[in-house]
Structure 1
Amino acid sequence: MAESALPRVFSGVDAVTAACGEELGPTPWLLISQDDVDTFARVTQDWQPLHCDPAVAALLPWGTTIVHGYLTMSLLSFFAGQLYRVEGVAHVLNYGIDKLRFPAPVPVGSRIRARAVVGSLAMKGELGVVGVTYSIEVEGAAKLCLVAETLVGLVPVGASESR
């Protein structure tokens, strides 16, 4: 698929519903540095040597440190902002993740990018919940590094704020 203009702007819940099955992206490439990994380790206290110790990681099959899977997952919000925007709603929020897989590692110093496929919309009271399936690839790699089936909440304008 040819690269599309980003971000895709949806004018309300009906436009999101009409886009069911459409692929968005890819995003521009994003470089993940050792500094990014070390910052994530400081915040999460996840100091596994395969992420943070180049001497230990050099002995592993990848020959270098690898990015935390949850760091890659945390970038979904960043990539979402590059892929789409929904107008005509009060709020767009993370509702959850139904499925998350890390099929391949991300070597530190790699560039990654994302694509997404818009799923169907279900109503949960006033809240519209749409599935968005993300795939993140590593530049030059044969396998995806992340596949996630996420749920995005669309709060309509004027909806009750008490949930």
Structure 2
Amino acid sequence: MKSYETLADLQPLVGENIGTSDWIQIDQDRINKFADATGDHQWIHVDVDRAKTGPFGAPIAHGFLTLSLMSAFFGTGFEIRKSTMGVNYGLNKVRFIQPVPVGSRVRGQFKLLAWDAIEGGAQLTIEVAMEMEGSSKPVCVAESITRRF
């Protein structure tokens, strides 16, 4: 995990990679729990036998499941030691580039797009490229806006 002392240490890094998260395994249990939590029980996610004969050859993670892992990615991607808290302020753009089959491992790459001063801290716009182990292209790319204090 990359570590930064203060929010100000990030300001000159606009345009650069500021961290990479740990890998997260996408197993069927995680997919099923997400389906239960959201009410999205579409067969391509939860019906293992039917999904094997479907367009992806196996169950796939929900796009929003992949996106929801962004919080976990932030937790292991980088730290700002003298920041007392951070809040999710929103997203500018999200694209689901390719499906995530059950059994895959995913992680986040963080690129700082903007650093803007706010009262008591900074608003960070960060591109999160979620990649799948063994794939050359990301599975999801999102612009996350966080406020750190």
| TM-score normalised by length of structure 1 | 0.84
The answer as to 2:3 corresponding to 1:9 is yes
Q: What's the RMSD between the two structures over aligned residues?
A: 1.6
Instruction: Pick from 73, 78, 97 the counterpart of residue 103 of structure 1.
Output: 97
**Secondary structure class of the residue paired with 1:120:** strand
Q: Which amino acid aligns with 1:26?
A: T
- Structure 1, unmatched stretches of 5+, are 1-5, 156-163
Over residues 24-79 of structure 1, what are the superposed CA-to-partner deviations in whole Å (9 max), with x where a residue is unaligned? 34333221100000011111111011100012212222110000111111111111
**Deviation of residue 125 (structure 1)?**
4.3
Aligned equivalent of 1:26: 20
Q: Is the 8 A contact 1:12 1:89 kept in 2?
A: yes
The count of aligned residue pairs is 149
Q: Which amino acid aligns with 2:57?
A: G
Q: Is the 8 A contact 2:112 2:126 kept in 1?
A: yes
In the alignment, the residues of structure 2 paired with residue 146 and residue 28 of structure 1 have an alpha-carbon distance, to the nearest angstrom, of 16
Over residues 92-127 of structure 1, what are the superposed CA-to-partner deviations in whole Å (9 max), with x where a residue is unaligned? 111111011100000011111221101221234445
Q: 1:25 to 1:126 in 2, by over 3 A?
A: closer
Instruction: Pick from 105, 109, 116 the counterpart of residue 110 of structure 2.
Output: 116
**Secondary structure class of the residue paired with 1:89:** coil
Identity of aligned residues (%): 32
Q: Is the 8 A contact 2:19 2:78 kept in 1?
A: no
Q: Is the 8 A contact 2:128 2:144 kept in 1?
A: yes
In the alignment, the residues of structure 2 paired with residue 137 and residue 41 of structure 1 have an alpha-carbon distance, to the nearest angstrom, of 22
Instruction: Pick from 48, 57, 73 the counterpart of residue 63 of structure 1.
Output: 57
In the alignment, the residues of structure 2 paired with residue 66 and residue 118 of structure 1 have an alpha-carbon distance, to the nearest angstrom, of 29
Q: Which amino acid aligns with 1:36?
A: R
Aligned pairs (5 A) from 1:1-163: 6=1, 8-155=2-149
After the TM superposition, which of the residue ranges 24-33 and 107-116 deviates more from structure 2?
A: 24-33
In the alignment, the residues of structure 2 paired with residue 91 and residue 140 of structure 1 have an alpha-carbon distance, to the nearest angstrom, of 34
